[in-house]
Structure 1
Amino acid sequence: MDTTTATEARYSRGAVILHWIIAVLIALNFAAAWVAEDMPGPQKMQIMGNHKAIGIVILVLTVARIAWRLTHRPPPPSPDLATWEVALSKVVHVLLYVLMLSIPLGGWATHSAFAGGKPVSLFGIVNWPGLPMAQDKVLGETLGGAHGTFAWVMLGLLALHVAGALKHRFLDRNSNALKRMWFGG
């Protein structure tokens, strides 16, 4: 494969950077939610404060990632993929984008319902405005339940996404599979 073809088969640097930053933040947010479950009140509130802030950052970066994708053509699917693999990949990616938007939006709405529209502190640096809603514990619990359910769906899709990448690399022996969304040349 010549250099031009290899470069064209890779995602752009901006796409790679946004992909991995969002991936790390999603992993941190899952970890924060799981750790906070068993914490006492004040510690739990601090961890959940960071969880909310990271969620807002994920939301903003996801919007940036979508804007990037709309303005920078992704590489074509690898020619050695079966039709069903290309179709499944597209479905999983669309669902991941939907969840990367809806989960933070749901968390923001959950916070806003419990806090009566008060802002979310972004790491004590700046306040992100709350959604304009009255305090409603029942609505907050409903939104929080949906937020959690969507997070579990995302976890399943992420497992499928990673399994697909590993399958292509190790079972199909496609050494370019992981390089497409990694740093460097």
Structure 2
Amino acid sequence: MNTQAAPSARYSRGAVILHWLIAVLIVLNFVFAFMAEDKPREEALAIMANHKAIGILILLFTVLRVVWRLTHRPPAPLADLKPWELALSRVVHFLLYLFMLAVPLGGWATHSAWSGGQPVNLFGLIDWPGLPFAASKTLGETFGEMHEVGAFSMAALVVLHIAGALKHRIVDRNPDTLRRISIGA
């Protein structure tokens, strides 16, 4: 059920805030994952604790974003899009949503399999329950590999998403492309 009668020229304020909040959290989580790579164990565990907490936030905000998207009509596609651009845009957006759900779920499953279902501590504030898995190195490694492959696949989609936006703004000289999703406009 859509709450707006007709699409506007811009995404709703809620959609814009969730878009940029999730984007910043995803970038931050990549930074934390790379930072932890060559650190001593205790330091890496502390960094990864933040990575896990942010991953849960990404999952929650993405679920909220999907609900928002289902209840708030987005703006109509730009009129100057070629059919193949519109089709590619729809596929990329769908896959981005899929990976924004699957990657944090994979990370949560990885943590749960390694820890035997222990909760994820969210910044010392609350414990997010672990998934009900018995401790399993094999399952943890499997979920971990899926999580990593999913994360890099999502990164490739993000690059494609940004490239598309920049192509429309710079090559096609369409200022509406970025204006529709900007915070201050």
The residue that corresponds to 1:143 in the other structure is: 143
Q: Any idea what the Cα deviations from partners look like across 1:46-81, whole Å, max 9, x if unmatched? A: 000000000000000000000000000001100001
1:132 and 2:132 aligned: yes
Instruction: Tell me by how many angstroms 1:184 deviates.
Output: 3.0
In structure 1, the residue matched to 2:66 is 66
| Distance (whole Å) between structure 2 residues aligned to residue 89 and residue 40 of structure 1 | 42
How far the C-alpha of 1:183 sits from its partner, in A, is: 1.6
Write the deviation string for residues 83-114 of structure 1: whole angstroms up to 9, x where unpaired.
10000000000000000000000000000000
- Report Cα offsets for 1:24-62 as digits up to 9, x if no partner: 000000010011001110110000000000000000000
- Aligned length in residues: 179
Match of 1:23 in 2: 23
Unmatched tracts of structure 1, length 5 or more: 1-6
Which residue matches 2:110?
A: 110
Q: Name the amino acid aligned to 1:177.
A: T
CA distance in 1: counterparts of 2:117 and 2:177, whole angstroms: 45
When normalised by structure 1's length, the TM-score is 0.95
The whole-number CA distance in structure 1 between the counterparts of 2:179 and 2:63 is: 24
1:41-60 equivalent positions in 2, closer than 5 A: 41-60=41-60
Secondary structure of 1:121's aligned partner: strand
Match of 1:184 in 2: 184
Partner of 2:76: 76
Query: Which whole-Å CA distance do the structure 2 matches of 1:184 and 1:41 have between them?
Result: 42
Tell me the equivalent position of 1:39.
39
Classify the secondary structure of the residue corresponding to 1:127.
Answer: strand
Q: Structure 2 length normalisation: TM-score?
A: 0.95
Matched, 1:172 2:172: yes
Tell me which amino acid in the other structure corresponds to 1:110. T
SS in 1 for 2:121: strand
Distance 2:136 2:42 in 1: 22
Q: Deviations over 1:125-176 (max 9, x none)?
A: 1000000110001100010000000011001000000000000000000011
* Runs of 4+ deviating beyond 4 Å: none
Residue equivalent to 1:3: none
Indicate yes or no: 2:154 matched with 1:154. Answer: yes
Task: Tell me, in whole angstroms, the C-alpha distance in 1 between the residues paired with 2:184 and 2:29.
Answer: 27
Report sequence identity in percent.
62
Name the Cα RMSD after superposition.
Answer: 0.8
